[in-house]
Amino acid sequence: MVPCSLIMAIAIIVTIFILGYAAITLEHSIKVNKAASALVTGILCWTVYILSGVDAHGVNHALAEHMGELSGILFFLLGAMVIVELIDAHDGFDIITARITTTSKRKLLWIVATLAFFLSALLDNLTTTIVIVTLLRKLIADRDDRLLFTGVTVIAANAGGVWSPMGDVTTTMLWIGGQISVLPTIVALIIPSLVCSIVPVLAVSLRLQGVVEAPAGKPSESLTSSMFERNAVFWLGLGVLLFVPVFKTITHLPPFMGMLFGLGIMWVVTELIHSEKGEAEKGVLSVNHAIRKIDTPSILFFLGILLAISALQSTGVLTSVATWLESKVGDVVVLGLIIGLLSAVLDNVPLVAAVQGMYSLADYPMDDFFWQFLAYTSGTGGSALIVGSAAGVAAMGLEKINFFWYVRTISFLAVVGYFSGAAVFVIQKAVF
Dihedrals phi, psi of 331, to nearest 5 degrees: -65, 125
pLDDT of the residue at 46? 93
- Cα 269 to Cα 257: distance, rounded to the nearest angstrom: 18
- CA-nearest of 161, 172, 92, 80 to 120 is 161
> Are 306 and 73 spatial neighbours (Cβ–Cβ below 8 Å)?
yes
Helix axes 332-342, 412-431, angle to 10 degrees: 150
pTM of the full predicted structure? Answer: 0.73
pLDDT of the residue at 402? 77
Across 347-403, the runs of DSSP E, i.e. the strands, are none
97's CB contacts (< 8 A; 6+ apart) are: 131, 134, 135, 138
Dihedrals phi, psi of 208, to nearest 5 degrees: -85, 135
**Is residue 102 helix, strand or coil?**
coil
pLDDT of the residue at 420? 96
* Type and span of the H or E element at 115: helix 105-122
- CA-nearest of 46, 42, 52, 50 to 20 is 42
Q: What angle do CA 236, 240, 244 make, to 5 degrees?
A: 170
- CA-nearest of 95, 21, 128 to 398 is 128
Q: What is the sign of the dihedral through the CA atoms of 385, 390, 392 and 397?
A: positive
283's CB contacts (< 8 A; 6+ apart) are: 224, 289
Residue type, 216: A
Helix axes 56-89, 296-314, angle to 10 degrees: 150
pLDDT of the residue at 218? 43
For 221-264, the pLDDT digits (tens) are 555 677 888 889 989 988 888 888 788 878 988 888 998 999 99
- Rg for the chain (alpha carbons), in Å? 22
Across 235-300, the runs of DSSP E, i.e. the strands, are none
- Cα 139 to Cα 88: distance, rounded to the nearest angstrom: 19
> Are 285 and 225 spatial neighbours (Cβ–Cβ below 8 Å)?
yes
- Cα 228 to Cα 108: distance, rounded to the nearest angstrom: 29
DSSP 8-state symbol, 408? I
Residues in the chain: 432
In the predicted model, residues of the chain with pLDDT beneath 50 are 217-220
- Cα 24 to Cα 391: distance, rounded to the nearest angstrom: 17
pLDDT of the residue at 219? 45
- Cα 292 to Cα 115: distance, rounded to the nearest angstrom: 28
- Torsion region of 293: left, alpha or beta (phi above 0 gives left; psi -120 to 50 gives alpha): alpha
For 343-388, the pLDDT digits (tens) are 787 667 767 877 887 788 888 899 899 999 999 998 999 899 887 7
